Amino acid sequence: MSISTPTYDEYPSSSSTPRSAKVVNLIRHFTNSMKSNGLKLKDRCKKPTQVHALTINSILSSSSSSSTSDESINSIINSKSHLPYGLPDSTLIEPPIDPFLRPVDFVDSISDLYTRIVHSCCDEPGTESGTKSGTCCGLYLEQYALLCALGDVKLVRRSLQCAREHAVDVHSKVVLSAWLRYERREDELVGVSALDCIDEEEEEIVCFCIGNEVVSCVRGKIASLSSPLNTLLYGSFVESVKQKIDFSQIGISAEAMRGVEAFSRTKKLMDFVSPSVVLEILSFSQKFCCEEMKSACEVYLSSLVSNIDDALIFIEYGFEDNASLLVASCLQVILRELPGSLNNPKVLSLFASPESMEKLSTVNHASFLLYYFLTQVAFEEKMTSSNAVMLVERLIELATEKWQKTLAFHQLGVLLFEKEEYKTAQNCFEAAYEMGHVYSATGIARTLYKQGKTYLARDLINKIISDCKRPTGWMYQERSLYNLGTKKLQDLELAAKLDPTLAYPYKYRAVSMVTENLVNEAIQEINKIIRFKVSTDCLELRAWFYLVLEDYQAAVRDIRALLSLEPCYMMFHGKMRCDHLVDLLSQRVKQWTAADCWLQLYDRWSYIDDIGSLAIIHQMMSHEPAKSLLRFRQSLLLLRLNCQKAAMRSLRLARNLATAKHERLVYEGWILYDTGYRDEALAKADESISIQRSFEAYFLKAYTLADASLDPDSSSVVIQLLIDALKCPSDGLRKGQALNNLGSIYVDCGKHDLAADCYINALDIKHTRAHQGLARVYSLKDDRKAAYDEMTKLIEKAENNASAHEKRSEYCDRDNAVNDLYMATQLDPLRTYPYRYRAAVLMDEQKETEAVEELTKAIAFKPELQMLHLRAAFYESMSDYDLALRDCEAALCLDPNHKETLELYNRTLKESAEFYT
């Protein structure tokens, strides 16, 4: 979300002395006593680079506008090509600088943090509980900062929950409660209205100029307010093609127009609108026949009360009277409305201006915790960079501990780099680097590179690599930016080998292949990462490549899948809306009826093509945007693709669009289940069944009950629920899933013949995943060959078959198992079982060093609990107790209640004590 506020968004350019002097003073103030020897860097001058982009007026233009002279590119962009912006630009796919802490040795860092948490949170004689809890709260916040690098939503939420449990003062409790609410915003049952859900993807921006101010609005939203506005913006008037429209003579102020814009999106008047402004909006509504908005104004004027307004008024009284609790109550109201409340210029002023922060300090409500929360919101919501910079500057001023200062300077460097203030950004990155954050060297190198000092950038990264005992993938990726030719490709190959989750090596190689007219090879290259890590940028590139080949059907598939992940995504390096591109390409692809879509969905589902299925669901939603069932199916597919936030957004929209109460209860139940509220989910399922017996209600209840250790009685209940579900109307896709689940329960109960029947019936309706269950039945009947053959059928059918290779390895000899697991790793390097299996085999062969190395390779890019536990067990068997304890502590930092790791940790502590005595 971009926040436009004229008061705070007009900042000087990168050459501005005040900004540079201010940041330099902050750096000097906080880092003079913390500089390390050998980490100081020389000052460099600024020399920005320029990027050239190709443009074409229409995607269906018959003429080429490529400005490149390369013959291989010209052979692609010919008179029949439909590429509005030429080929992908390799300079525009550079990896972003992550705005969080990234220690070189992540395992050491979280191991040390765990020991500090245990030491600080244990009961010690003579220690006051308040002091202890306050320390623990800060440690869990530090844990949150470290775990952000893993991208695991559940882990970071648990850290915040622990911090909240140990908060001792009112301020910390208010901030952490609001933060947890913000983190769960996609999981809440309440959200945007059904009307908003239907139109959420129409985001073409039109700007209204009122005097010297500009108000950015969504063209489609404003047009939807009334017929006259729709005619003005989409009819034959000249304004329909203008991006900027002069409204100076209309008789409305900029503030009132912002209220109109807010109403067009939310269908309610924003809380910060004053009565006088509402009167202006009322006049505007009368002039343009906006009946719904006119009614809202009338209702609003009858109440004249707003929560945010009340908070902003009473907080000033709190400042004047030094009433800390009153200020806390006001903050609670404001923070609970994030991110929306930051659209209010007064709220932004409250947090961003130095004067307001000083007022907050006088009542003990200006804290690093508060501003860390606000900066996280700014980063996640893509807040206007100048506004985000102000928040991070306040964060620096409030930082007290080393990790806090490091994080704050690094984040400020990231923001200034995005604003192309390279010299000032360099100073910030250097401050973080000198405090020991080696990853900030990427920021220093990148700013040097942008200033034309490629050699110095490369030299810095070379030093980082040579000084590091075990270089990581990001180091070689960064150095590749400053190398050319063979050296660049070698660095990218090594980066991908050390950390296959890095997208840039795949993207660069693919783009390079396209420029050499090797488009099919480029698609194969980008497929390597899409197979196991679906992201918008990689889907965009693959769609782009299909456009080069003029395979419009495949391109539209990828763009629709992309829109399912991010509805407002901009293609071609941010130059064209995806939904607009789909509309244009629809002239070149076969149009499917609703029946065609269902047939295609069955086909894609049977091939376990989740991206293809997602694209078809998206197309079906264009015909029936208000159908909640489609949103629900979309959420299931997004969960399979490990897109948690997008999945929860779709599930919430399904709930909001549901017209029947029993259907809405089912979706609420899934939301509760996915957020850990198992009993509440069961209650929703029971209530839905009491209203109407439906497949989805029975399935929800069965699924929720089965997610526990089932005794024979519980298993019987789940079996009956699934049988009842199968008796209810539903489509084959969902019934196939129910049959598969029923087969799994039968297997657990030892009823193998009944399980086999379920799996065979599921296969009859194209539920291809049932091959895996049937293979398990054959294996339990000691027919390993039949099990192996069954998994082979799954491998042959499935588009994504890494898990099938992994599972088939259980039904063959060791050599074939190793081959299958090698293939599973090639297809999906994030699967950890192959590494654990290979390591166990090596330990079996008494190759201890090689076994540890096999696990270490995977831990370097995926420090998962099971792998850390296994490596700790290996170290213990090798009598290397220090390293065993380190890995146990790191694993317990990820899950402090993991029973097996706790047992291993306590045993190793005892063995270590005996060894050293």
Interval 97-105 mean pLDDT: 95
* pLDDT value for 91: 87
Q: Residue 487: what residue type?
A: K
Q: Residue 421: what residue type?
A: E
* pLDDT value for 64: 35
- Give the model's confidence band at 324: pLDDT under 50 very low, under 70 low, under 90 confident, else very high: confident
- DSSP-assigned states of every residue in 571-634: HHHHTEEHHHHHHHHGGGSPPP-HHHHHHHHHHHHHTT-HHHHHHHHHHHHHH-TT-HHHHHHH
Determine if the peptide bond prior to 339 is cis (ω within 30°). yes
Q: Which residue did the predictor score with more confidence, 776 or 214?
A: 776
Residue 706 has pLDDT above 80, yes or no: yes
* Alpha carbons 518 and 516: distance in angstroms, whole number: 6
For 388-403, the pLDDT digits (tens) are 899 999 999 999 999 9
Is residue 346 within 8 Å of residue 3, measured between CB atoms?
A: no
- Give the model's confidence band at 915: pLDDT under 50 very low, under 70 low, under 90 confident, else very high: confident
Residue 305 has pLDDT above 70, yes or no: no
Angle at 193 between CA 621 and CA 285, to 5 degrees: 110
Is residue 409 within 8 Å of residue 432, measured between CB atoms?
A: yes
* pLDDT value for 271: 64
**508-517 residues labelled b (16+ CB within 10 A) or e (exposed):** bbbbbbbbeb
Kindly report which listed range (99-103, 235-239, 602-606) carries the lowest average pLDDT score.
235-239
First to last CA, the chain: 60
* pLDDT value for 873: 96
C-alpha to C-alpha distances, 347 to 149, 278, 371, nearest whole angstrom: 30, 19, 13
Interval 629-656 mean pLDDT: 92
Q: Which residue did the predictor score with more confidence, 198 or 396?
A: 396
Residue 495 has pLDDT above 70, yes or no: yes
Tokens coding 726: 């199968």
- Give the model's confidence band at 50: pLDDT under 50 very low, under 70 low, under 90 confident, else very high: very low
Element (H, E) at 205: strand 205-210
Residue 197 has pLDDT above 50, yes or no: no
Residue 782 has pLDDT above 80, yes or no: yes
* pLDDT value for 274: 76
* pLDDT value for 38: 40
- Give the model's confidence band at 849: pLDDT under 50 very low, under 70 low, under 90 confident, else very high: very high
Interval 419-426 mean pLDDT: 95
* pLDDT value for 240: 77
Give percent of the chain with pLDDT exceeding 90.
59
Average pLDDT over the chain reads 85
Residue 14 has pLDDT above 60, yes or no: no
Give percent of the chain with pLDDT exceeding 70.
85
- Give the model's confidence band at 508: pLDDT under 50 very low, under 70 low, under 90 confident, else very high: very high
* pLDDT value for 195: 32
* pLDDT value for 21: 56
- DSSP-assigned states of every residue in 396-410: HHH--SHHHHHHHHH
The dihedral region occupied by 251, where left means phi > 0, alpha psi between -120 and 50, and beta the remainder, is left
* Alpha carbons 275 and 762: distance in angstroms, whole number: 62
* pLDDT value for 422: 95
* pLDDT value for 24: 53
- Give the model's confidence band at 650: pLDDT under 50 very low, under 70 low, under 90 confident, else very high: very high
* pLDDT value for 2: 35
* Alpha carbons 836 and 809: distance in angstroms, whole number: 13
Angle at 541 between CA 536 and CA 542, to 5 degrees: 100
Interval 171-197 mean pLDDT: 68
